[in-house]
Amino acid sequence: MNFRQKAVVAAVSLALSSLFIHTSASANQSPVAQDATVAMASQPQPAEYKGPDVTDNPQPAQTKEEVVSSAKAKVQDAMADVDRRAGEAVRQQRKKLREKGKKDVRVMYGTALVNAKSADPDWGDRRVIAYQRAVVSAREKLLKQLYGEVTTRTLRENFRTNQLPEFTPEEIQTQKGLDAALGVVVAIADTAVGGRLEEMGIDSKAYEAATPTKRKVMMKKAFSKMTQRESRGELSGAIVTRTFETTDANGNTAVGVVLTTSNKLKNTLENFRVSKGRIAPNPKRAKISIDDFLEQNYSNLMYQHGITLMYDEEGYPVLISYAQAGNECNPVDYEECVDNREFSFIEAENDAYANFAEVYNLQGVLTAESRKGEEKIKDATLTRTESGDQTIEGTTSRLLKEVSEMSEMNSAVKDLVGIEEVKRWTEKHPVTGKEINGIVLAWHPKNEASIRSFKSNKPQPKPQPAVKAPQTQSQSGQGQGIDTFDDADF
């Protein structure tokens, strides 16, 4: 429907409305009560662990000193900085793996921007989401390697005609009918129609000057190519071995993570999953107690994400899950901050449990589609005026570009036993001052065996005595940027 036709329809509606109101005012009618109530619809056999150590030198994935140092460096582009550093970490890991002749280890990284300025109240939660997005980005890179389907479609079109547009007898007859109807409407509504059209946002002068037009494509040259991809596979067993965080001179914060996985690590985790806690310690792998490790690295817990595998002072393998959440409260309202902190811990605990589900059993699907092309069109527009028909020709050229990508990852596990909270913490971010609350959960084979014994109301069998190796002192890695990657683990 062209502009003139739309205007005619609007004018007819206004004229009839005006007539109705005038008739109603002259009649003797009782007032009618209006009901403004809106009805709302109602919604209604255990294996013994024999795998390698994963953290010969347990270290934080990133330290507080590294984050502060990055902020003091006053870089101009936070995203470019974390992308460069994460890429370098991946290069170093791959080099070590090549030197060891290990070919089945996969290393990839992902980055994400914190979608908030440091002054925003919800910066803490936005930061956590950015780390999660970075992890997903790294997983997608692995997903694309596991399996792929690709389809393409290419279209080319050439068209040309020398027949200019013209009005058909039917269109001319229709136009005459509209003009006649318009004359009747104007006669009835008089000058009220123009004023009402202005109220509806219709230019009455343009309405009066509207003339019928008809457009026709005279020449067209078009080309486009469409590509569709789908990737899917299992993503279990990938752990975060390094993290990065940079706040640039403009207050933008970007984060990056490095994910590492291998068949050996996946088998190790599966072994833990079915062991029911009956795993003998390996004294040669004895390191430091979990409590001591967390206490020594308390200031670095804000930069740990996901699952880490390390050994305690007896040589037992332990899975440690880190998670956190922000607190968007007003710092001057102490009661609000305390209330919000309680919910932050609940949120962080859920994410910490989610880490176990994802490292044990995670499936993913990624789809992507892109279309790119160009189009050149020459058209002619016929306009009927009082002085006769006028034809105007024009040429337009444009680039066509569409891109979409979506991934979905799902995990589900049952019978998680022996996971307990080993640390909860509250810290101010060293750069922005925003409050961050975190939870650290740990799975220990001794604890799972003990809980299963408790549930069955049976005494726990005594473990085999093991020779205890001398305890080694953990290094906190403060300001040194030491990561958790060890090529012997994969």
- pLDDT confidence bin for 378, thresholds 50/70/90: very high
pLDDT at 457: 79
pLDDT tens readout for residues 176-198:
565 555 555 555 454 555 555 56
pLDDT tens-digit readout, 186-238: 554 545 555 555 665 555 555 555 567 888 888 999 999 999 999 999 999 99
For residue 417, give both structure tokens: 């036993």
Residue with tokens 């990839």: 108
- The amino acid present at 427, given as its one-letter code, is E
Q: Residue range 323-337: average pLDDT?
A: 94
Which phi and psi (to 5°) does residue 393 adopt? -105, 150
**26 pLDDT more than 70:** no
Cα–Cα distances (Å) from 406 to 96, 138, 140, in that order, read 33, 14, 10
Q: What pLDDT was estimated at residue 135?
A: 97
- Say whether pLDDT at 164 is over 90: no
Tell me the pLDDT band of 21, cut-offs 50, 70 and 90. very low
Other beta carbons within 10 angstroms of residue 292's beta carbon come to 15
| Secondary structure, 3-state, 177-216 | HHHHHHHHHHHHHCCHHHHHHHHCCCCHHHHHHCCCEEEE
Q: 276 CB contacts (<8 Å, ≥6 apart)?
A: 46, 417, 448, 449, 452
Instruction: State the pLDDT at residue 384.
Output: 76
C-alpha distances out from residue 147 to 144, 209, 253, Å? 6, 62, 33
Query: What is the DSSP secondary-structure string of 212-244?
Result: -EEEEEEEEEEEEEEEEEEEEEE-TT-EEEEEE
For residue 54, pLDDT over 50 is answered with no
Is the CB of residue 134 less than 8 Å from the CB of residue 244? no
Over the chain, what is the mean pLDDT? 81
pTM (2 d.p.): 0.73
Please report where in the chains the tokens 């005494």 appear, as a residue.
Answer: 459
pLDDT given at position 486: 57
* Beta-carbon count within 10 A of 454 CB: 11
What separation in angstroms does the CA of 397 have from each of 373, 384, 464?
11, 27, 79
pLDDT digits 0-9 by tens, 244-299: 999 999 999 999 999 999 999 999 999 999 999 999 999 998 999 999 999 999 99
Q: pLDDT at position 55, please?
A: 41
